[in-house]
Amino acid sequence: MRKDKFLKDFEHDPYSESRKLQEGTFCKECGAVYVKGRWTWPFEELEGKTPSICPACRRIRDDYPAGEIVISGTYFLDHREEILNIVYNVLEQEKERSPLKRVIKVEEGKGFMRMSFTDDHLVRRIGEALYRAHKGTLELQYAEGDKFLRIQWKRDK
């Protein structure tokens, strides 16, 4: 029996760039620019550049998140503002570094909040920041064969 068989990629991300884009390509929705193989915020004028749509804007348009976090528990209800400050501080720090890390949707229900994001690493960073600051329970679930992370953070007291 041969041991050098072909193995499928474990992770599939339909929003990753399948080809290198032309240098200076810009997202016509958010203004991000493709420079040196990655999307960044623009530092120059966009005149004469090639328009496109970045992966984050495509995810937002299609409502196809790379991850989500569900925050719940009685502690969340009592400390909602503090918890949301942590979430939005991490979001701002990450968004400054990369335009591909953004929030897609925020849903609130009785005793919980669900937030979906364009980047799975951003979701993990938010979950870990909440756990460091407020403890509670943190559950991470990666979707098999797809680039998606679901985090549940809960604390009751």
Same domain, 117 and 49: no
Q: Write the DSSP assignment of 31-55 as a string of letters.
A: --EEETTEEE---S--TTPPEE--H
pLDDT digits (tens, 9 = 90+) for 111-126: 899 999 999 999 999 9
Q: pLDDT at position 14, please?
A: 67
Same domain, 40 and 114: no
Residue 39: domain span: 26-53
Contact present, 103 and 95 (Cβ < 8 Å): no
Q: How many CA atoms lie within 13 A of 145 on its CB side?
A: 2
The whole-model pTM stands at 0.83
In a domain, 19, yes or no: no
Residues 45 and 88 in one domain: no
Residue 79 in any domain: the answer is yes
Pair (40, 81) in one structural domain? no
* Edge-to-edge order in the sheet of strand 67-72: 103-109, 112-117, 67-72, 149-154, 137-142
Task: Look at residues 27, 86, 35 and name the one whose alpha carbon lies nearest to residue 54.
Answer: 27
Is 145 part of any domain? yes
| Number of structural domains in the chain | 2
What is the chain's mean pLDDT, rounded?
A: 87
32-85 pLDDT tens trace: 998 888 889 887 766 667 889 999 999 999 999 999 999 999 999 999 999 999
The answer to whether residue 7 is domain-embedded is no
pLDDT for position 3:
55
Structure tokens of 31? 């203004």
Strands 51-52 and 26-27: parallel
Q: Does residue 117 contact residue 104 with C-beta atoms inside 8 Å?
A: yes
* Residue 24 reports pLDDT greater than 50: yes
Distance from C-alpha of 102 to C-alpha of 57, rounded to nearest angstrom = 9
Residue 21 lies in a domain: no
pLDDT at position 11 over 70: no
Identify whether residues 49 and 78 lie together within a single domain: no
